Chain A
Amino acid sequence: MSFIKNYFKQKKPSANIAKERLEIIVSHQRKKRKNTSNNYTQQLERKLVAVIKDHLNIEEGINIHVVEKPHYSSVKLTVELPLN
């Protein structure tokens, strides 16, 4: 019986293995991209504002400007310090 079964049961084609591996690889890559690129600068912005507000105890006068260049992004930050 098992001899007949083995005869008909062929080895899994390597193309199918490749597809399964790729599905996993690509879904990982895409998840990672979603988590990094999307929110990276926004997160940084939010955290910076929170820290400054907390340390200086101010609500206004914080300007954050994000410049995106092909090889790097820069964040320009100006804070108006209260006179006291």
Chain B
Amino acid sequence: MNKRAQIIVITSGKGGVGKTTSSAAISIGLASRGYKTVVIDFDVGLRNLDLLMGCERRVVYDLINVIHNEAKLSQALIKDKRVENLSILAASQTRDKNALSLTGVESILDELRSKFDYIICDSPAGIEHGALMAMYFADQAIITTNPEISSVRDSDRILGILASKTHRAKQELEPIKEHLLVTRYNPLRVQKGEMLSVHDVHDILAIPLLGVIPESQAVLKASNSGIPVILDEPSDASQAYKDTISRFLGETLPHRFITTPKRKLWSRLFSTNIQEITAG
């Protein structure tokens, strides 16, 4: 049997928007659904996927070691202890992004492609070498965007690069499939007019909306403990990530956590009054 994994890059341009948080959640989500999944940290020099996954003490070899033939891929892959089917490939902490070469990345991805269903690439911030290496061979891209002006602008720039500088673009293959993931969403601030709404962001970027992850206290708790937030079952962020996975796998689900959770008594009274008035 010959597998051919889909390569998915989690990218954004801007830093700190939730790429690594999302990479951890999405890879665990796909593995939990039974897909053989590997998640690769491309943030060479600033690795932190291993911290979010809680496996920092098990990192012996990393991506660069494999590229430089200092270790075999099988030695560098870390099997997740909580979820079957999931492996992690850490980034190097000591070298810099330029240690990544296109041919090196290609040969690793080729080897992984025959063993996995999904390869998740956690991109570093920026639009330069490291980010380009993470997205170059992608089949699909999850554009992680905060409802904030600079993040949306950077996401649009990333869309431009995906469409012109990647393998699929250069070879004139079918374009990379784009997905919009809006993260750190605060419905209350949207309601107050202080934050761009998901509809605004979706309108401007005009790519299919995969999910909306609310700003959630569970995320910091998760990174503190090294247990990705998607495993914090009852939390809003976990549910939102699970919905995102379902949509990614083709299910149609309404977006949750995009309106304010509970309205105050007075506003409920007020709106029922209005309904009564307009009804009567």
Do A and B come from the same complex?
Answer: yes
Residues on A facing B (Cβ under 8 Å) = 13-16, 18-19, 21-23, 25-26, 29-30, 33, 37, 68, 70-71
Tell me the number of A-to-B contacts counted with CB atoms below 8 Å.
56
User: CA of A22 to CA of B149 in the docked complex: distance in angstroms?
Assistant: 7
- CB-CB under 8 A from B164, the residues of chain A are 33, 37
For this complex, into which size category does the number of interface residues on chain B fall?
20 to 34
Given contacts A19-B200, A70-B132, contact A25 B194 (CB under 8 A): no
In the complex, what distance in Å separates the CA atom of A70 from the CA atom of B102?
9
Could you say which residues of chain B place their CB within 8 Å of the CB of A70? 102, 132, 136, 165, 170
> Is the CB–CB distance between A33 and B160 below 8 Å?
yes
Considering only CB atoms, which chain B residue lies closest to A19 in the complex? B200
For A13, give its contact among B157, B193, B204, B205 (CB under 8 Å): B193
- Minimum Cβ distance to chain A for residue B214 (Å): 17
Give chain B residues whose Cβ lies under 8 Å from the Cβ of A25.
Answer: 153, 156
Pick the contact of A26 from B153, B170, B193 — CB < 8 Å? B153
- Bound complex: CA of A32 vs CA of B16, how far in Å? 27
Name A10's closest neighbour in chain B (CB-CB).
B193
5 A-B residue pairs with CB within 8 Å: A16-B193, A19-B196, A22-B200, A30-B160, A71-B129
**A23-B204, A30-B156, A70-B102 known; A15+B194 contact, CB < 8 A:** yes
Q: Which of B102, B157, B193 contacts A29 (CB under 8 A)?
A: B157
CA distance A13 to B200 in the complex (A): 13
Q: State in angstroms the CA–CA spacing of A26 and B196 once bound together.
A: 15
User: With A26-B152, A29-B153, A29-B156 as given contacts, are A14 and B204 in contact (CB-CB < 8 Å)?
Assistant: no
Asked whether B194 lies within 8 Å of A22 as measured between CB atoms, the reply is: no
Contacts of B157 in A (CB 8 A): 29
Q: Does B231 lie at the interface of the complex (its beta carbon under 8 Å from any beta carbon of A)?
A: no
* Residues of chain A with a CB closer than 8 A to B102's CB: 70
B204, A22: Cβ atoms closer than 8 Å: yes
CB of A4 to closest CB in B, whole Å = 21
Which residue of A14, A21, A71 is within 8 Å of B194 (Cβ)? A14
Smallest CB gap from B157: residue in A:
A29
B197 proximal to A (CB < 8 A): yes
B200 touches A15 (CB 8 A): yes
Smallest Cβ-Cβ distance to A13: which chain B residue: B193
Q: Which residue of chain A has the shortest Cβ distance to B199 in the bound complex?
A: A19
Contact among B152, B193, B195 for A22, CB-based, below 8 A: B152
CB atoms of A15 and B165 under 8 A apart: no
Q: Are the CB atoms of A18 and B196 closer together than 8 Å?
A: yes
Cα A71 to Cα B101 with chains together (Å): 11
> Are B165 and A26 touching (Cβ within 8 A)?
no
**B125 located at the interface, meaning its Cβ lies under 8 Å from any Cβ of chain A in the complex:** no
Closest Cβ–Cβ distance, residue B82 to chain A (whole Å): 36
Closest to A25 in B: B153
Contact partners of A19 in chain B: CB under 8 A: 196, 200, 203-204
